[in-house]
Amino acid sequence: MRFLSRAEEIILLSIWKLQENAYGIEILNQVSIASGKKWSIGAIYAPLTRLLDKEYLRTYEGDSKPERGGRRKVFYELTPEGIKALEEVKKVHENIWSDIPAFNS
Amino acid sequence: MKKNYTNPPKLLEELLRRFLYNTTQYSALGDYAELYDHLSSEKGRAYAVTWYCIQLVKLLSTYCLQKSIWSIMMFKNYMKIAFRNINRNKTYTFLNLFGLSIGMAVFSLIFLYVQYELSFDKYHENSDRIYRIVQKAEDRSHYIEIYGSDIIARTHAPLAMALADEFPEVISAVRINFRSNILLSTGKKKFFENKICFADPSIFEVFSFKLINGDPKSALSDPNSIILSERMVDKYFQDKDPIGKVFTYNNSFDLKVTGVMKNIPENSHFTMEFIISFKKYDELLNKVTALWDDNWHCWTYCVFHNDVDIKGFEKKLIPLAERASNNIRNGTKSEFLLQPITSIHLNSHLFKEIDVNSDIKYVYILISIAFLILVIACLNYINLTTACSLKRSREVGIRKVVGAHKRHLVYQFFGESIIITVFALILSTIIFFLALPAFNSLVDRDLSLDIINNSQIILVIFVLLFIVGILAGSYPALFISSYKPIMVLKNAVDKSFKGIKLRNILVTAQFSISILLIICTLIVKEQLYFINNKDIGYEKDRIIVLHLRDPEIRKNIEVIKTELLNNPAILKFSSSSSLPNNIDTWKSIPASVVKERGVMFRTRIDYDFLELYGIEIIEGRNFSRDFPSDETGAVIINETAAKMIGLESPLENSFELHTSRETKKIIGVVRDFHFRSLHKKIDPLYLYMDKRYSGNYLSVKIKGDRITETISLIKDQFEKISLNYPVEYYFFDETINASYNSEQKIGKIFSIFALIAVSIACLGLLGLSIFSAEQRKKEIAVRKTLGAKISGIVILISRDFLRSIFISVAIAWPVGYFAMNNWLQNFAYRIDIGINVILYACFLAVLTAVLTVIWSAIKSATTNPVDSLRYE
């Protein structure tokens, strides 16, 4: 029973947020904004590939664009399993973050 | 809005593609391209390309890390398994390792030797352009029979200067000659020295001999100068400066030291400790060396410019050769030939060489032995490893089932063989250095492995052996990784028929080689024994030989003789111009005397010679004081000479000697005796006396007891007459043995390497038999329970191996017979290769093999069946 890793969680959520326009660069931007750090493409694609293999994501293709060297854009969207995984993580997060003593900042 | 877009360079893109995950490659490449385009329009092309390259590097490091983590993890596992295996099969691994190391060590030693032999004379700067002039004399074809070659290494004295003056292709030429047994004295030290060279000053232009002290251009300009080697400086002057000091040569004249040269390297075909100017040699011979005549006074060497056509140059020497022969009445017509200096040591066996050269035969023999032994060691390794691998069949099966590719298994087993190879290399290095002194005495050289100077050789040897180890390991690795998992799990691998057949072939090959070596050894030893014990026709025990050099002693030889014979310890006393085993002077005999023109050997003896040496007279009589005419007019011939003359009763006949117009009467015939080594057949010989010349050799037969006392007795008598020369003596039987030096060496080499080969083969056989016994544990146990006797089981196990051995025998003996027959042709007197030698060799091999196999056979035959069948 394996939980999503941090990076995987962030990426899945970003894709869910983006709903429609979720391709590599967009995901990269979202994740960078959300986490405040600048991610590299490789850092995105490693978890992305894993999630694909686990079938939490699926892809669909868009139009081919000349700026991409003639390649089409590849969009990602969540599968039901992906959604379930996110919900699971959310539940765990809520459980573990509830009722903790305050931080002294 | 139409936008200009830029794409990343195709090459970089392609490279990037390789580092991306397969599934998302397309997507990722597009993203990279988009970002590139964006950066390109924002910050410029150069920035974008740089960024792209940085991405490449980032991905590269992750990629490598990923892959290597995987490999590192597997590597750890492989190492663990490898060492566990080594521990579990300690015996096999040890046998394997040991056999391989010995093979490698032997190979390295021989490699060192071969490389050394091939390096002779190559240290000269111009070694590829230095040639020796030799001559092929017309009408001397009988030299081939007598001396082995009709090409003469010595040449006329004026030749060198003619070459240097008249031929622009020649940079410089030098004449050299040698003298030995010269007494050199300086201050209080005097010694007989052997390596005295007379040479022109151009010796330093032709050769690269270095002068430490003194100027090469002027050191030899004065004929009364002498150059010493470092070694001689130590011997005579220790630490003092030798320049300017004076040596006395043979008590006749003085020489001043004008230079010190570095010791001549051992790998030279001639060596010297002193150099004196050739002009002095000229003086000593009353200036006859300026003439073109038949006295070939020196060896001539010259160095050419680059790119000279040697064969063409030889043709240019023809007029020179004609000039030489035209000068002398009845002069020998010769043809001058050029011999590269680097080929002399191994290939030159001409008449009148400076020193006995080695032979390329040795090199060939040793190279073959090196390869054979390495082959045996490798076959061993392959055999044992393959056999052991059967034990690991289950491991291989499971690895394959959990997903290992054949590739991974090959890596794993290759890795193991690399580990073994590395250990073997380390072990072989140790063995190498331990065995080096013994090897040096075996091949009569002083080899050493200077790490600094010979780094190239060390590298070559290591790489070679490493490759050998890999190759040897590749077969088992490939063999093991090809096991099919299903067969493994069904335990059907053990019965692999192909494996057993291959193993037997390898064992057969190993033993064929070993038996071949044993046969060669036995035959060489037999021939040596034959030589040593053959009746040579004269006695050799208890005879002391003294070299007569001192003119004082020569004058008073009769006095010494009478004094010594008074002593009961001295039995007989004789002087002669040669010893019975080294007669090498001869004369042509005209056809009027003999049936066909030929040569007869001859030597001067005295009244007591034949009796001292126990040479039997079969017809007629010895020289006798009762017949005064014996001193000038009589000869004694041997049986072969008698046959050559062809008369019914040679006695009372006389024959005229060529060119001296003396008629000598034949007064006796002696039984043939071997006056040269047994390599040559007995030629015709005549013995005569001549009071004008006193002999070179003194032979003294003594009573066997208290030898040291007798020797000092003789020495005293000599020293009473003259103290000019130290008394030098040696034992006759030792010199006879020395003439078979090369055969003894070959015999020793063969026997040692045969022993090594057999040991390695037996190590292999031992391992295999232990293994095979283990494999058949259950079978044996069942047989025992069903009532088989121990002997039956032993036979069962040994049977397979013995069949291989017998095939080896069948292969080895024809090869051995052929090869040894060839070698025996060198001897005029030789053994016949009888059946018993072959049988003996085969018997030895079979015996060794049987003993090896029997041990493990008996061990397994006597195990309790209960232990073997327990698992069932």
> Which residues of chain B are within 8 Å of residue A73 when distances are taken between CB atoms?
30
* Interface contact A68-B31, CB threshold 8 A: yes
Report residue B292 CA to chain centroid gap: 39
* Interface contact A67-B21, CB threshold 8 A: no
State the CB neighbour count (10 A cutoff) for residue B437.
12
Write the residue in B8, B21, B26 that is nearest to A74 by C-beta: B26
**What Cα–Cα distance (Å) separates residue B499 from each residue in B411, B476, B489?**
21, 11, 18
* Interface contact A41-B26, CB threshold 8 A: no
Q: Kindly report the length of chain B.
A: 872
> Which residues of chain B are within 8 Å of residue A21 when distances are taken between CB atoms?
none
Asked if residue B412 has pLDDT above 90, the reply is no
How would you write B339-376 as a 3-class SS string? EEHHHHHHHCCCECCCCCCCCHHHHHHHHHHHHHHHHH
Higher pLDDT, B277 or B290: B277
| Coil, helix or strand at residue B68 | helix
β pairing state of B189-193 and B543-547: unpaired
Asked if residue B301 has pLDDT above 90, the reply is yes
* Interface contact A67-B37, CB threshold 8 A: yes
What is the percentage of chain B residues whose pLDDT exceeds 90? 6
Whole-number average pLDDT of chain B: 82
Asked if residue B374 has pLDDT above 90, the reply is no
- pLDDT bracket for residue B174 (50, 70, 90): very high
Report the alpha-carbon distance of residue B729 to residue B715 in Å, rounded: 9
- pLDDT bracket for residue B186 (50, 70, 90): confident
Q: Which of B578, B568, B567, B574 is nearest to B543 (CA)?
A: B574
Which of B323-327, B336-340, B395-399, B450-454 has the least mean pLDDT?
A: B450-454
* Interface contact B20-A45, CB threshold 8 A: yes
Q: Which of B852, B858, B854 is nearest to B380 (CA)?
A: B852
B18, B22, B27, B65: best to mutate for the A interface, most A CBs within 10 A: B27
What is the percentage of chain B residues whose pLDDT exceeds 70? 92
* Interface contact A41-B32, CB threshold 8 A: yes
Q: Which of B229, B166, B177 is nearest to B200 (CA)?
A: B177
Which of A91-100, B655-664, B673-682, B815-824 has the least mean pLDDT?
A: B655-664
**What Cα–Cα distance (Å) separates residue B33 from each residue in A47, A70, B16, B197, B700?**
20, 9, 11, 84, 106
- pLDDT bracket for residue B214 (50, 70, 90): confident
What was the pLDDT predicted at B659? 47
Q: Which of B786, B803, B68 is nearest to B500 (CA)?
A: B803
ipTM: 0.87
* Interface contact A72-B59, CB threshold 8 A: no
Question: What six digits make up the tokens of B610?
Answer: 């034949």
Higher pLDDT, B633 or B24: B24
Which of B27-31, B186-190, B527-531, B585-589 has the least mean pLDDT?
A: B585-589
Higher pLDDT, A94 or B840: A94
Asked if residue A80 has pLDDT above 90, the reply is yes
**What Cα–Cα distance (Å) separates residue B198 from each residue in B49, B178, B250, B643?**
77, 6, 15, 45
Asked if residue A9 has pLDDT above 70, the reply is yes
Asked if residue B431 has pLDDT above 90, the reply is yes
What was the pLDDT predicted at B590? 67
pTM of the model: 0.73
| DSSP structure string for B193-233 | E--EEEE-TTHHHHS-PPEEES-TTTTTTSTTEEEEEHHHH
Helix (H) or strand (E) segment spanning residue B251: none
Report the alpha-carbon distance of residue B527 to residue B707 in Å, rounded: 31
Helix (H) or strand (E) segment spanning residue B252: none
A29, A39, A45: best to mutate for the B interface, most B CBs within 10 A: A45
Asked if residue B646 has pLDDT above 90, the reply is no
Which of B274-283, B573-582, B587-596 has the least mean pLDDT?
A: B587-596
What was the pLDDT predicted at B2? 44
pLDDT in tens, B128-173: 899 999 988 777 777 776 777 888 888 888 888 888 888 888 999 9
* Residue A93, Cβ density class (10 Å: 0-12 exposed, 13-18 middle, ≥19 buried): exposed
Q: Which of B841, B837, B102, B850 is nearest to B515 (CA)?
A: B841
Asked if residue B358 has pLDDT above 50, the reply is yes
| Coil, helix or strand at residue B249 | strand
pLDDT in tens, B673-706: 888 877 788 888 888 888 777 778 888 888 878 8
Report the alpha-carbon distance of residue B647 to residue A68 in Å, rounded: 115
Asked if residue B328 has pLDDT above 70, the reply is no
Q: At what angle do helices B455-481 and B360-389 cross, to 10 degrees?
A: 30
Gap from A42 CA to chain B (nearest CA, Å): 7
pLDDT in tens, B106-115: 998 888 888 8
Q: For chains A and B, what is the number of CB pairs under 8 angstroms?
A: 66
What was the pLDDT predicted at B12? 85
Which amino acid is present at B187? Answer: G
How would you write B262-273 as a 3-class SS string? CCCCCCCCCCCC
**What Cα–Cα distance (Å) separates residue B518 from each residue in B514, B751, B845?**
6, 7, 8
- pLDDT bracket for residue B587 (50, 70, 90): confident
- Contact between A75 and A22 under an 8 Å Cβ cutoff? The reply is yes
- Contact between B182 and B281 under an 8 Å Cβ cutoff? The reply is no
Helices of type H across chain A: 6-18, 24-35, 41-53, 80-97
Which of B239-248, B321-330, B527-536, B635-644 has the least mean pLDDT?
A: B321-330
What was the pLDDT predicted at B796? 78
Which of A33-37, B528-532, B622-626 has the least mean pLDDT?
A: B528-532
Helices of type H across B584-738: 609-612, 630-633, 639-645, 707-721, 732-738
| Average confidence (pLDDT) over B480-496 | 67
Q: Which of A18, B858, B370, B366 is nearest to A10 (CA)?
A: A18
- pLDDT bracket for residue B1 (50, 70, 90): very low
